[in-house]
Amino acid sequence: MRKSTLEEVAAAAGVSKMTASRALRGTSDVSKETREKVLQAAERLNYVGNRLALSLSSQRTNLVAVVVPSMSNIVFPEVLAGISAGLEGSGMQAVFGISDYDAAKEREIIRDMLSWQPSAIIVTGLDQPEDTVRMLKNATIPIIQIMDLDGEPVDFNVGLSHGKAGEDMARALIAAGRRRFGYVGSALELDLRAGKRKAGFERVLGKSGLAFMQSQIDDAFSSVALGKQLTRAALAAMPDLDCLYYSNDDMATGGLFACMELGVAVPGKILIAGFNGLDLANALPVRIATSRSPRHLIGEVAAKLARDVVADGKTIDRKRIAFTPEIIGIGPFENSTG
Amino acid sequence: MRKSTLEEVAAAAGVSKMTASRALRGTSDVSKETREKVLQAAERLNYVGNRLALSLSSQRTNLVAVVVPSMSNIVFPEVLAGISAGLEGSGMQAVFGISDYDAAKEREIIRDMLSWQPSAIIVTGLDQPEDTVRMLKNATIPIIQIMDLDGEPVDFNVGLSHGKAGEDMARALIAAGRRRFGYVGSALELDLRAGKRKAGFERVLGKSGLAFMQSQIDDAFSSVALGKQLTRAALAAMPDLDCLYYSNDDMATGGLFACMELGVAVPGKILIAGFNGLDLANALPVRIATSRSPRHLIGEVAAKLARDVVADGKTIDRKRIAFTPEIIGIGPFENSTG
DNA sequence: GATGTTATCGATACCGGTATCGGTAACAAG
DNA sequence: CTTGTTACCGATACCGGTATCGATAACATC
């Protein structure tokens, strides 16, 4: 039982290849009876069109290439789900690639993606090396860089400023009365956005004459377990901190658990602040502070952007779509009931 | 700056299309100087091959289609990461689709995937409707069904028995002295594997003359928040339970948080049991019971299987690869220190 | 009857690569 | 000098669809 081709369907229906093609696509210029014959023949032969031939012939793929750095944290899957949702009903298909936070791997994945002639490409971040950017530009398709706004976009840009997110969080925590800050993070040389948040946070601390009094940073990727471990180390080194800023909510959650195990009151003694606004963070038995990043929405908006740009080459003037994460979970200092 | 074709590269290098093709692919029958000329021309023109043409012409795509039901839980992203890792270095590329636990949508996604002429397809679960199965079979490519083993596979099968996982957990909990069981779950009519675990659990309860004394099931998808909410309801309805079985670790984590907030000792008064063995579950301040499902590994093994089958049509005799989840986090009843 | 018009269909030329086979030049062997 | 042999390269025919243009038949209009 070989895969049947349009030619075979046409033969079975007693018409030409071209007529069969028209009938199956539902374009005009086909009589009702002929269409019916072709449809039945296709059904009978279990015909499944060959997208390769279609795309090669018609010069459009309806493919959107997407490159994300990781799958081991819920953040990027949520972005992908958003993209998938945003593409729904458009006839466009997302193709995902994972770069593992590796620039060389990212370049190869992008090259590979581009060879499929996608109609648009969505990549994470703004910090691709020059040769990758050149390759992207050369593809002459819409390039949508997501998540980050701190840098020079190649084309379209959907996301938020992580530098500003760090700054805002620092301001909010200082306003809430915190003064003795510590930092817990991981893989900062890979997760550039986490680094930008930290830098923003430190800028504001500096302006207030403050600084991180303690800092625990590991090379491994973020996880709840790692957050727990590093928090223990931070508190051992400097027990009288009153606030810990984390590279993200996973780490912060680990931090909270460490505090619970050590009997350290949260947020009474220590305020714990993360980033992302994961559902998990909201369900925790003790509230931690976090910035809600609209991950699903960013994916959805990027996908819609891709649709719009591809649909009718109508010039989109809003090249940059910025979101501002809402900060939640900070009460006044006295509010503590940890 | 249009996308350049092989033809143009060949012209720039002063050779024929065919020679350029050979040079770029590094096949034999090309002199060193010619190869060099072509490579330079390709570099100069920023040539990126057209995979559509390549695949159409050569009749192979090196594409592996993957269909998973969801992205809103870390489980499937981990499977995808495993597949991605398992495919690494093989020149094969995974293409993902999300079915949202919807059989009709799954069928359309599979049809769409098949139209790209993948070399193999990996789908989640064994419970596809008949027409979907027919379509799969008709594609005449290796079909790898993953995650579940409870049912009749179409072709290859990699996963674990969820029925048995439920049974094993029930036996372990009974052995640990628990008798007054409750169940908390969600979206069971969609997440069939969760349903199979519940059914297995109930089979063992029945054999011991036991049954769920309380059950809270919601239509929404699983989340920590939902687990928390339903656990509150379960405990309100029947406060003297000594064990709660959850549809998965996310729900169970919510259950633990609910207990912590209510001041219910875990596992002293109530033992909480989930499924998956998420990293989160291991980092919790209080240990909960769970079955460790090898998600990444299942993806990796499925990918390797796809590689092997596609590589050389060598007949793989092991059509079924079974994993048994390890149960962790159950101490004897007296062990309680909640 | 000649001429449009409309509806329906097919022939042909691509799309951008690869497979296949054959051709040419250079050199060695007889 | 003829004949192999080897190394290198190109012409041509596909792969399975779609775009484009033209052909045909039926029918209405003048």
| Residue B205 and residue B80 share a domain | no
Task: Tell whether B170 and B270 lie within a shared domain.
Answer: yes
pLDDT tens-digit map of B116-137:
999 999 999 999 999 999 999 9
What is the distance of C-alpha B190 from the center of its chain?
A: 15
Examine the domain organization and report whether B148 and B192 are in the same domain.
Answer: no
Residues B211, B113 share a domain: no
Contact A197, A212 (CB under 8 A): no
Of B96, B116, B140, the CB nearest to A1: B140
Q: Does one domain contain both B170 and B141?
A: no
Q: How many distinct helices (H) and strands (E) make up chain B?
A: 13, 12
Distances in Å between the Cα of B200 and the Cα atoms of B153, B196, B221, B314 are 20, 6, 21, 37
Decide if B289 is inside a domain: yes
Residue in A55, A116, A285 nearest the CB of B260? A285
pLDDT tier, A334 (very low <50, low <70, confident <90, very high otherwise): very low
Show which positions of strand D are touched by protein (CB under 7 A).
7-12, 14-20
Count Cβ neighbours within 10 Å for each residue of B95-124 and write b for 16 or more, e otherwise. bbbbbbbeeebbbebbebbbbbbbbbbbbb
Nearest to B275, CA basis, from B177, B182, B168, B122:
B168
A31 touches strand C (CB under 7 A): yes
CB within 7 A of strand D: which residues qualify? Answer: A 3, 5-7, 17-18, 21, 24-25, 47, 49-50, 53-54, 56-58; B 15-19, 28-34, 53, 56-57, 59
A261/D29 CA-to-C1' distance in Å: 95
Test the B interface: residue of A25, A110, A115 with most B CBs within 10 Å: A115
What pLDDT does B28 receive? 75
Residues B191 and B331 in one domain: yes
- Please state, for a pLDDT cut of 70, what percent of chain B lies above it: 96
Give residue for tokens 């409870």. B150
* Other CB atoms within 10 Å distance of the CB of residue A263: 8
**Cβ neighbours of residue A279 closer than 8 Å, sequence gap 6 or more:** B223, B224, B225
Mean pLDDT of A260-286: 96
pLDDT digits (tens, 9 = 90+) for A176-204: 999 999 999 999 999 999 999 999 999 99
Contact predicate A155/A143, CB 8 Å: yes
Which range, of A140-154, A259-273, A310-324, averages the lowest pLDDT? A310-324
> Which letter, b or e, does each residue of B247-267 get, where b requires 16 or more Cβ atoms within 10 Å of its Cβ?
bbbbbbbbbbbbbbeeebebb
Longest dimension (CA), chain A: 85
**In this structure, are residues B267 and B273 in contact, taking their beta carbons and an 8 Å threshold?**
no
Nearest to B122 by CA among B89, B72, B90, B157: B157
For A234-271, write each residue's pLDDT tens digit: 999 999 999 999 999 999 999 999 999 999 999 999 99
Q: Quote the mean pLDDT of chain A.
A: 93
Q: Which residues share a beta bridge with A244?
A: A182, A272
Residue B289 DSSP code: B
The residues, any chain, with a CB within 8 Å of residue A312's CB and separated by 6 or more, are none
How remote is the C-alpha of B237 from its chain's centroid? 35
Q: Is B193 helix (H, G, I), strand (E, B) or coil?
A: helix
State the virtual CA torsion across B72, B63, A53, B6 in degrees, nearest 10. 120
Whether A51 and B117 lie within 8 Å, measured CB to CB: yes
Indicate whether A156 pLDDT > 90. Answer: yes
Phi, psi of A160 (to 5 degrees): -145, 160
Pick the more confident residue, B331 or B128: B128
Residue B268 and residue B232 share a domain: yes
The encoded tokens of residue B136 equal: 């799969």
Task: Say what the pLDDT of residue B276 is.
Answer: 98
B248 plus B317 within the same structural domain: no
> Which pLDDT score, from 0 to 100, does residue B1 have?
56
Q: Helix, strand, or coil here: B225?
A: helix
The answer to whether residues B333 and B190 touch, using CB atoms and an 8 Å cutoff, is: no
Task: Give the structural domain span for A157.
Answer: 61-161+295-323
Tell me the per-residue pLDDT of B170-192, one tens digit each, with 9 for 90 and over.
999 999 999 999 999 999 999 99
Query: Is residue A158 predicted with pLDDT exceeding 60?
Result: yes
**Count of domains in chain A?**
3
Closest CA to the C1' of C16: that residue is B53
The pLDDT value given to residue A312? 66
For B43-87, write each residue's pLDDT tens digit.
999 999 999 999 999 988 989 999 999 999 999 999 999 999 999
Asked if A117 and B51 come within 8 Å (Cβ–Cβ), the reply is yes
- Residue B93 domain-assigned (yes or no): yes
pLDDT in tens, B284-312: 999 999 999 999 999 999 999 999 998 86
Q: Which two tokens stand for residue B80?
A: 């995808």
Give CA angle at A98 (A293, A218), nearest 5°.
65
User: CB–CB of B273/B169 below 8 Å?
Assistant: yes
Q: Indicate the DSSP class of residue A91.
A: T
Q: Does a structural domain hold residue A54?
A: no
pLDDT value of residue B2: 66
CB A123 within 8 A of CB A110: yes
B208 and B132 part of one domain: no
Average pLDDT, chain B: 93
Q: Is residue B57 part of a domain?
A: no
Please give the pLDDT value at position A38. Answer: 93
For the residues A100-108, what does the mean pLDDT come to? 94
Separation of CA B272 and C1' C27 in angstroms? 83
Alpha-carbon distance of A142 to A152, in angstroms, equals 15
Residue A269 lies in a domain: yes
Whether B56 is covered by a domain: the verdict is: no
DSSP B159: E
Cα Rg of chain A, angstroms: 26
| Rounded Cα–Cα distance for residues B155 and B150 (Å) | 14
Six token digits for residue B288:
């909960």
DSSP type of residue B3:
P
A278 with A318, same domain: the answer is no
Among the residues of A139-285, which ranges form H helices? Answer: 162-175, 192-207, 224-237, 249-262, 279-283
Can you give the length of chain A in residues? Answer: 338
In this predicted structure, what is the pLDDT of residue A336?
39
List of chain A residues whose C-beta atoms are within 8 Å of the C-beta of residue B135 = 46, 48
> Which of B193-197, B221-225, B313-317 is the least confident region?
B313-317
Helix (H, G, I), strand (E, B) or coil at B124: strand
Give me the phi and psi of B219, to 5 degrees please: -80, -25
- Mutation site, B106, B115, B130, B186, interface A, largest A CB count within 10 A: B115
> Residue B247: which of B235, B230, B260 has the closest Cα?
B230
- pLDDT score recorded for residue B215: 98
Greater pLDDT, A26 or A246: A246
Q: Which amino acid is at B266?
A: V
Say yes or no to pLDDT of B333 above 60: no
pLDDT of B334 reads 42
| Band (A60; pLDDT cuts 50, 70, 90) | confident
Q: What percent of chain A has pLDDT over 90?
A: 87
Please list the alpha-helical segments (H only) found in chain B: 6-13, 17-25, 32-44, 51-58, 75-87, 103-114, 130-138, 162-175, 192-207, 224-237, 249-262, 279-283, 295-311
Q: Residue B54 falls within a domain, yes or no? A: no
Tell me the mean pLDDT in the region B26-54.
91
Tens digits of residue pLDDT in A197-234: 999 999 999 999 999 999 999 999 999 999 999 999 99
- Nearest CB to A111: which of B48, B72, B94? B48
CB contact under 8 A, B224 and A280: yes
CATH number of the structural domain spanning residue B24: 1.10.260.40
B153-B155-B159-B165 Cα dihedral, nearest 10 degrees: 20
**What is the Cα–Cα distance from A261 to A263, expressed in whole angstroms?**
5
Interface test with A, best of B61, B116, B287, B295 (most A CBs within 10 A): B116
Could you give the CA distance from residue B181 to residue B234 in angstroms, rounded to a whole number?
11
Contact B64, B34 (CB under 8 A): no
Residue B55 lies in a domain: no
How many Å apart are CA B306 and CA B300, to the nearest integer? Answer: 10
User: According to the model, what pLDDT value does residue B307 have?
Assistant: 94
Same domain for B230 and B132, yes or no, is no
Q: Which CATH number belongs to the domain containing residue A222 in this structure?
A: 3.40.50.2300
Give residue A242's pLDDT.
97
Task: Say if residue A34 is in the same domain as residue A78.
Answer: no
Q: What is the DSSP string of A5-47?
A: -HHHHHHHHTS-HHHHHHHHHT-SS--HHHHHHHHHHHHHTT-
Query: B55: nearest CA in chain A?
Result: A52
Task: Give the Å distances, CA to CA, from A152 to A145, A157, A319, A320, B208.
Answer: 10, 9, 12, 11, 66
Cα nearest neighbour of A134 on chain B: B46
Which pLDDT belongs to residue B248?
98
Q: Given a cut of 90, is residue B243 above it in pLDDT?
A: yes
